Every structure is written in C-alpha cells, then in structure tokens.
Amino acid sequence: MTKEFRFGITLYLLAILLAALFGSLTPLLFKDLINNAIPRGSVHLLIIYAVILGVLTLAQTGVGVLSRYLQSVIGEGIIYRLRIRLFEHMQTLSLSFFTHSQTGSIISRVNNDVVASQQVVGTLGSLVSDVATLVFTLFFMFELSPQVTILALLIVPVLIALDRLLGKRLTRYARVQMQANAEMSAFEQERFNVSGSLLVSLFGNRSRESEQFRTQAAEVREAGIRFALFGRLYYSTLALMGGIGTVAVYAIGGDEAIHHVLTLGALVALAQYVTKLFAPLTDLSSARVNLLQALVSFDRVYEVLDLTPEVQNPTQPIHLPKPAGQINFEHVSFKYPSATPLASLAKNPVATEPVNNDYALFDVNMTLEQGTMTALVGQSGAGKTTITNLITRLYDPTDGSISFDGVDLRALDIETLRTLIGVVSQDPFLFHDTVRSNLLYANIHATTQELSAAVEASQLGELIERLPQGLDTLVGERGYRLSGGEKQRMSIA
C-alpha cells in the first residue's frame, strides 16, 4: 500500500530532516550573538545575526508546513485506500461472517480503526524528527561541552526503563478502550434502527435497555478514565525525568561558566540544547506508545482483511452462453458453520459456540426443470431457506454438489450466477432511498420501459400513484413506510 506513496513519504521525511537541522542551528547563533555581537557592542553584527535567525525561523516554519501537508495527504490517502480495501473485502466474505458478527463492531473497524491506523504516518514522522533532532543536538552539545553532555545522558537509561515498564500497560488499556467503544457502537446500531426500536417498544423493555446502555457507557467511561489517567502518569513521569536532567545540566554548566571553562554564550546554547535533548527522548518514548496504539488498530483491521471467504470464486470460471435454468441437487448435505469467524467482532469475544453437528439438509436429491414451478413445503427448520441459500451460493454444500445447466455452481462466477437468479426473501430489505433507486438496484442500467414493465408485472402501479412523489418517494429505513405486502411487491419488481 505504501508503494504508491513512496515519493511523498521520501519528500515528507526530507522536509522533517531539514526542519530538525534548522532548529538545531539556532542555539549556535545565540551563542555567537552573546559571545561576539553583544560584548563588542556591534549593531552591525547584531543585525546580521537577527536576519540569519529570522531566515532560519522562516525556513523551519516553511518546511514544517510542507511536512504537515504531506503527512495529511499520505495519511488521508492511506485511510481512503485501507477503508475501500476493507469494504470491498467484506463484500466477498460469506454470510456466516455477518451472522456471527455485530454490525456496530464491523462499522467500528471501517470507521474508527482505519482512522487510528493512519497515525503510523505521523508517528513515523515524529520518530524521524526526534532521531534527527537528537543526533544534531548531541553533536553540537559534544562540541560545546562533552562533560555536560555525558551528565545529561545519564538520565537516558531511566527513561528507557520507564518506557518498558509503563508502555505495555498503556497499550493494553488502549485495546480495552477500543473494544469497549466497539461494543457500545454495536449496541447503539441495533437499538437505533427501525426494527430494533420497534422490538423494544412492542415488548416494553425501555427501562431494561436504558440500564443495559448505562452499563455499556460506564464500561467506555471507565476504560477512558483508566487510559487517560495512566497516560498522564506515563507522560508526566517521563517529563519529570527530563526536568531533573535539565536542572542537573544547569547546575554543572553554571559551575563551569563561573570558573570560565564555558563561555556565557555556550551555557545559553547548552541550556537550549538540553531542552531539545530531553524533548525528543520523551517524544521517542511517546512515539513508541503511539506506534503500538496505531499497530493495535492495524491489527484489528487486518484481522478482517486476513479472513478467507468460505465461498470462493473460481480462478477460471465457466461461462454459460445461453443459460436455461435447470438446477440439479446430487446427494447434497449441509451443516451451518458454527465457529465464530472473528471473536473480537462477536458480542462476547471470550465465549465459544458449541459445535453444531446437526445437518440442516441431508442427502437431498432433486431436479428443478427449466420452465417448471417447484414448491418446497415443510415445517419450520426443515431447510427450505437453506436450499435457496445454497442455490445462490451464499453457502456451499458440506457434501454433494449442485449444478446449474449441468455445471457445478462452484465452477461458475458468483456474480454471474446471482444475476441469473431473482430472490424475494421472507423479510424484504429496502434501502433508505427512493422507490426508483430501490427498484433499479438489481439493474441500474434498466430503461424506463423495463422499469415500467416491472412495476406493472408486480402490480405496483396503484401504490406508486398514491405515493406523494411517485417513484421518487423515500421508502424509509428498511422500507418501513410501506406495508409488508408492498415491500414484497417492491422486492418482486
């Protein structure tokens, strides 16, 4: 994914390096200004140093703006491509993935985790900037006073120890916070759609739902408090260590300045470099945590991207030049998948489902001839819906085979197969869009004449005439502005 951003990333890192170099030169100019221009009383030198400092500041600001722009372009580009890739991949996943996953948790992956994962770009820039600043700062500090520099570096092992001690725990709190937010999002999505809201109202469970939401929101609150508190403790501890190092450098450097080992300008420059030294050290520790947080989001995104669809499209599908429509079942048996495809997308990630050894279908043999009508009759759970799901390849048979015009369904292109089959489900789903858009969903290129013919064949004409905007009337979420029979006729059309 980063190949297409290679040039932009190179330019971005170059701008960061230049900004770090320009910032590291400033203390040296202050040293010369204090040691040369001021003691000599030279206004001419003072103006020269002031102009150079101004140019350096402008240059540093300019490359800083450029690097921020490049970071945004690269970061947003990664978000866009990762989000599209995730969406398209989930379109290929089997129906069992969605039956075992909460919709809100899926949406959280596409929205929240994808956005959080792009922080890798900003963190990479921070790492490069901090390392460059550290290298330039240490080089110039050693040039000014090796003794003071070595004393300042004594704090580094303490910073590393604190980072290792606290960093892992902070990352764990970040993952808990993400999971709590995803679960609350899933709960909201289920209750705020029309079906969920209707169910809650009909069964009078509003108080229980409110209590359950309070519990979910409390978990998010507690996770947020733990993460914020521990994060503040982590960063404050690192800042404290940096402050102690700064005080030590002022004390040692001040003593050397009193005994004329250091010039006053060198002491001022060292004081500025000390700030530049501990800031990137602290930032590097923070960057590690930020990188780990971003990698947690990356991990959650790639958990989904790494899932293999149970129903695979053939690499070299067979195409039917003139499909007739004869369907043949030969010794077909089927068990519904019982394993959760991704535990973190389920409501209870630690729970495991019992293995389902029951066959929904067992040794089914039948032929559906072209031009005939076949009715499947049986009690609830007999497998009628399962048969339609197998014909459309929402699932593949556990045993046996199903053929279309003599060709095994697994050898046909999935999209082509499904364009040959029309399905009207028991509970038709309509998008929150106009009647026209819903009717054209199966064939967006249908002509006006074809649309009119479908409306007439499904006896929708009278209904459309009654609607306030006709074909351009919004049907509402899941089509709840229409009756059950009207939604059935819409689905038939």
Which tokens sit at 189? 């999505």
Which residues touch 49 (CB under 8 Å, ≥6 apart)? 29, 32, 33, 37
- In the three-class reduction of DSSP (H, G, I as helix; E, B as strand; rest coil), residue 474 is classed as strand
Q: What CATH homologous superfamily does 327-413 map to? A: P-loop containing nucleotide triphosphate hydrolases (3.40.50.300)
**Tokens 């059950």, located at residue:** 484
**Tokens 């570096």, located at residue:** 153
- In the three-class reduction of DSSP (H, G, I as helix; E, B as strand; rest coil), residue 221 is classed as helix
Which tokens sit at 289? 């945590």
CATH 3.40.50.300 positions along the chain are 327-413
Q: How many residues does the chain have?
A: 493
161 φ/ψ sector (left φ>0, alpha ψ -120 to 50, else beta): alpha
| Residues in a beta bridge with 321 | none
pTM score, whole prediction: 0.63
CATH 1.20.1560.10 positions along the chain are 2-305
Mean pLDDT, rounded, for 346-351 = 53
Which residues touch 479 (CB under 8 Å, ≥6 apart)? 428, 429, 430, 438, 486, 487, 490
Alpha helices in 377-447 (DSSP H): 384-391, 414-419, 435-439
Dist CA 100 CA 337 (whole Å): 10
Q: Is residue 436 over pLDDT 50?
A: yes
CATH of 2-305 among 1.20.1560.10, 1.20.1600.10, 1.10.8.60, 1.10.3720.10: 1.20.1560.10
Dist CA 402 CA 321 (whole Å): 19
Looking at residue 352, what is its pLDDT? 46
pLDDT, tens digit (0-9, with 9 covering 90-100), for 305-346 = 888 888 888 888 888 888 888 999 999 999 887 655 566 666
In 3D space, the residue among 101, 98, 105 whose CA is nearest the CA of residue 311 turns out to be 98
pLDDT, mean over the chain: 81
| Surface-to-core class of residue 345, CB atoms within 10 Å of its CB (0-12 exposed, 13-18 middle, 19+ buried) | buried
pLDDT, tens digit (0-9, with 9 covering 90-100), for 160-202 = 777 777 767 777 788 788 788 878 877 777 777 666 665 666 6
- pLDDT band with cut points at 50, 70 and 90 for residue 401: very high
Looking at residue 348, what is its pLDDT? 56
pLDDT, tens digit (0-9, with 9 covering 90-100), for 450-471 = 999 998 898 888 888 888 888 8
